[in-house]
């Protein structure tokens, strides 16, 4: 029986993790579904995609051939996708958010054609309840496994006009750049080790890794981004000119987030042993400041309302530290600074636009 992979959404998470992993894992057929007509047309013209990967000292370019893609808003193409979904061993959704799941109702019709088939449905929407949300939309089937994921892989979409890197497909206006790090944790399920998508690591209990991603990786990334913004940095790599600031982020990871996580989840997995966590933290700091990834500070600190929420990265990490009797001093500095920025963002919307306002905002941000 042929191994078929279906990816819904064609962003860098889909291409840089799942298409790459399925291609390297020996899948016989790789199919994508998207609603962007220009993207669909460009990939269909060549039947291939190109993904750029930021390594430690260079950017590697990989091209994956024999890629099929169909537009799920075109009725005749949707019928093809339903046929693919009915036969697919592995499916991954990589949509902007879980609220878009109702647009995948066609999957239910596909699953109904072969309700007893074994299939693994990965959800990559950066939501801890994504698998349950999709199950509610599509329904349960005897051998269909909805799987959560923890994706600590940084990526971006760039405009071809702004970069010398190759686009996703020849003639397309955008390209994908992902980092080399590729350890993606997923929920476990019977037979999952035989699926074969490279880079995916099933865990019996994924919850500790979800907390580690949010209150370790995400918290320190946002923290460093806020400190970088105060310094006037445009890219995260610019902050390496301020080693004392990078050291603050490193200390937050190794002296606050890490000890709290390791104490809470002691014995769960080797990841939560101090030596292993510290080694991971050192590597994360290097990854977050990679000049090859060209991650913008504005992207890292955008949407402060969400990122300062009670259970989100920075406040959630502070609460975790408190619960484990660890003082979150550096995290608190970052949270306070982020709250100031949030207030400033609100205020500047009430001030007259112009160069004078921009100069005032710049001065206030630098304090």
Domain 4-202, CATH among 3.40.50.300, 3.40.50.720, 3.30.1370.10, 3.40.50.1950: 3.40.50.720
CATH of domain 208-366: 1.10.1040.10
- Beta strands 174-179 and 155-159 are antiparallel
Q: Are 175 and 158 in contact (CB under 8 A)?
A: yes
CB proximity list for 208: less than 8 A, separation 6 or greater = 261, 264, 265, 268, 269, 272
Predicted pLDDT at 316: 96
Instruction: Confirm whether pTM is higher than 0.85.
Output: yes
Within 10 angstroms of residue 210's Cβ, the number of other Cβ atoms is 18
Beta strands in 114-221 (DSSP E): 119-123, 144-147, 149-150, 155-159, 174-179, 184-187, 200-203
- As annotated, the residues of the chain forming the CATH 1.10.1040.10 domain(s) are 208-366
Cα–Cα distances (Å) from 153 to 62, 113, 179, 247, 293, in that order, read 17, 35, 6, 22, 11
CB proximity list for 216: less than 8 A, separation 6 or greater = 253, 257, 258, 261, 281, 284, 317
**Cα–Cα distance measured from residue 361 to residue 347, given in angstroms and rounded to the nearest whole number:** 10
Distance, CA of 269 to chain centre: 22
Predicted pLDDT at 362: 84
Q: Are 9 and 88 in contact (CB under 8 A)?
A: no
**Cα–Cα distance measured from residue 131 to residue 121, given in angstroms and rounded to the nearest whole number:** 8
Predicted pLDDT at 223: 98
Give me the residue label for tokens 């923290």. 223
Predicted pLDDT at 158: 96
Q: Are 320 and 331 in contact (CB under 8 A)?
A: no
160-194: string of b/e by CB count within 10 Å (b at 16+)? Answer: eeeeeebbbbeebebbbbbbbbbebbbbebeebee
- As annotated, the residues of the chain forming the CATH 3.40.50.720 domain(s) are 4-202
Beginning with the edge strand found earlier in the chain, give each strand of the sheet holding 200-203 in spatial order. Answer: 149-150, 184-187, 200-203
- Mean pLDDT, each 10-residue run in order, the chain (367 residues): 96 98 98 98 97 96 98 98 99 96 97 98 94 98 98 96 96 97 97 97 97 97 97 97 98 98 98 98 97 94 91 96 98 95 88 92 82
């Amino acid at each position: 029986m042929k191994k078929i992979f279906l990816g819904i959404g064609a962003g860098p998470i889909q291409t840089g993790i799942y298409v790459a992993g399925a291609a390297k894992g020996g899948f016989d057929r790789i199919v994508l579904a998207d609603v962007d007509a220009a993207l669909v047309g460009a990939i269909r013209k060549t039947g291939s995609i190109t993904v750029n990967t930021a390594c430690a000292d260079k950017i590697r370019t990989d091209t994956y051939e024999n890629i099929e893609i169909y537009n799920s808003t075109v009725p005749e193409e949707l019928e093809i996708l339903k046929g693919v979904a009915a036969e697919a061993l592995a499916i991954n959704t990589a949509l902007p958010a879980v609220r878009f799941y109702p647009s995948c109702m066609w999957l239910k019709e596909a699953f109904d054609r072969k309700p007893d088939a074994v299939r693994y449905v990965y959800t990559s929407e950066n939501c801890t309840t994504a698998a349950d949300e999709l199950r509610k939309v599509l329904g349960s089937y005897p051998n269909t496994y909805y799987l959560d994921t923890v994706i600590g892989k940084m990526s971006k979409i760039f405009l071809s006009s702004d970069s010398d890197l190759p686009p996703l497909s020849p003639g397309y206006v955008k390209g994908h750049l992902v980092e080399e790090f590729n350890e993606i944790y997923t929920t476990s399920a019977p037979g999952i080790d035989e699926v074969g998508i490279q880079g995916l690591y099933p865990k019996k209990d994924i919850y500790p890794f979800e907390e580690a991603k949010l209150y370790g990786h995400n918290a320190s990334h946002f923290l460093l981004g806020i400190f970088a913004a105060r310094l006037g940095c445009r890219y995260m790599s610019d902050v390496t000119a301020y080693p004392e600031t990078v050291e603050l982020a490193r200390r937050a990871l190794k002296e606050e987030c890490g000890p709290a996580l390791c104490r809470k989840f002691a014995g769960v997995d080797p990841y939560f042993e101090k030596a292993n966590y510290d080694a991971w933290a050192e590597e994360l700091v290097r990854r977050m400041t990679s000049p090859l990834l060209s991650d913008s500070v504005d992207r890292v600190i955008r949407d402060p309302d969400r990122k300062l929420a009670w259970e989100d990265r920075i406040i959630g990490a502070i609460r975790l530290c408190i619960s484990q009797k660890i003082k979150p001093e550096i995290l608190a500095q970052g949270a306070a600074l982020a709250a100031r920025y949030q207030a400033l963002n609100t205020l500047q919307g009430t001030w007259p636009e112009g160069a004078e306002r921009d100069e005032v905002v710049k001065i206030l941000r630098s304090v």
